[in-house]
């Protein structure tokens, strides 16, 4: 199940005000996240949600902590048994990045960003091995651990652990006997 959430629309609904396009203040961030969580409540066990910042003017640190970090902590880092929720962040510009980067660092989180051209990349707290593995899976489309091990020249067991870790962090989706990068669904059959 794929869902698209326009954050600026949620913001305006939350504040009941058309004038504000900035994600500022912690109470605002908490209210926006609560609204996003309400939308996610209808999602199935496995879901991919696009969190779209395209029409958000700016976001401050407090709001980024509430909207981005706490959302990821709740659905991703908590490794919920009942839900496999994946997030792809779209429309994140330099104007948003400082705040988002700071909260990812603070909480040791990572996420997948999609740029204007539809190309995805992994950002935040990941090591070089994780980054390389994610990138390879993204480029290849659905990939089994053994195939990735040969592509990266690493031991299959180490590769399996790497992929499993990325899956637990909801940066890779597990599909049948392989893995697909969040943001790389178009490559599944490619």
Partner 1 sequence: MTSVITVPPSLDDHTFEQVVEQLASIPADAKLLVDARHTRWASPYGLTALLALGQTRQERPSFAVPETEDTASYWARTGFFRHADELFDLHGSVPRARAGESSVLLEITAVTKSEDVHDVVGRIQQKAQQILTKELNIDAKATVGFAMTLSEVCQNIVEHAGRGGWVGVQTYTWRKRLGNRRVVVIAVCDAGCGFRESLESAPGRVRSDRWDDAAALEEAVIRGVSRFRDPGRGQGLAGVRRYVGRWDGKVSVRSGTAKIAIVPSWDDDVPLLEKLAPFPGSQVQVTIPERVAGGTR
Residues that bind partner 1 (CB under 8 A): 15, 19-20, 22, 24-28, 57-58, 60-62, 65-66, 69-70, 94-95, 98-99, 102-103, 106-107
Distances (CA, A) of 72 to 7, 37, 67, 177: 15, 11, 9, 25
Rounded to a whole number of angstroms, the distance between the first and last alpha carbons of the chain is 20
Residue closer to partner 1, measured from CB, 19 or 128: 19
What is the rounded CA–CA span in Å between residue 145 and residue 163?
7
Smallest distance, Å, CB 35 to partner 1? 16
Tell me the backbone φ, ψ of residue 64, rounded to 5 degrees.
-60, -35
Residue closer to partner 1, measured from CB, 91 or 183: 91
Residue closer to partner 1, measured from CB, 15 or 39: 15
Residue closer to partner 1, measured from CB, 52 or 65: 65
Neighbouring CB atoms inside 10 A of 185's CB total 18
What is the rounded CA–CA span in Å between residue 2 and residue 89?
13
Smallest distance, Å, CB 49 to partner 1? 21
Residue closer to partner 1, measured from CB, 20 or 175: 20
Smallest distance, Å, CB 20 to partner 1? 5
Give burial (CB, 10 Å; 0-12/13-18/19+) of 174. middle
Smallest distance, Å, CB 98 to partner 1? 6
What is the rounded CA–CA span in Å between residue 19 and residue 119?
32
């Amino acid at each position: 199940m794929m869902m698209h959430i326009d954050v600026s629309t949620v913001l305006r609904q939350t504040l009941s005000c058309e004038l504000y396009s900035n994600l500022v203040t912690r109470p605002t961030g908490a209210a926006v996240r609560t609204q996003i969580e309400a939308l996610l409540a209808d999602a199935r066990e496995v879901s991919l949600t696009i969190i779209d910042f395209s029409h958000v003017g700016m976001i401050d640190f407090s709001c980024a902590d509430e909207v981005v970090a706490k959302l990821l902590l709740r659905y991703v880092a908590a490794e919920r048994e009942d839900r496999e929720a994946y997030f792809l962040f779209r429309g994140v510009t330099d104007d948003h990045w400082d705040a988002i980067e700071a909260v990812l660092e603070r909480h040791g989180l990572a996420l997948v960003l999609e740029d204007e051209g539809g190309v995805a990349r992994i950002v935040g707290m990941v090591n070089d091995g994780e980054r390389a593995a994610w990138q390879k899976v993204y480029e290849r489309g659905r990939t089994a651990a053994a195939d990735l091990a040969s592509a990266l020249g690493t031991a299959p067991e180490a590769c399996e652990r790497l992929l499993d870790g990325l899956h637990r962090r909801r940066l890779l989706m597990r599909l049948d006997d392989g893995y697909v990068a969040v943001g790389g669904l178009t490559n599944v059959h490619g």
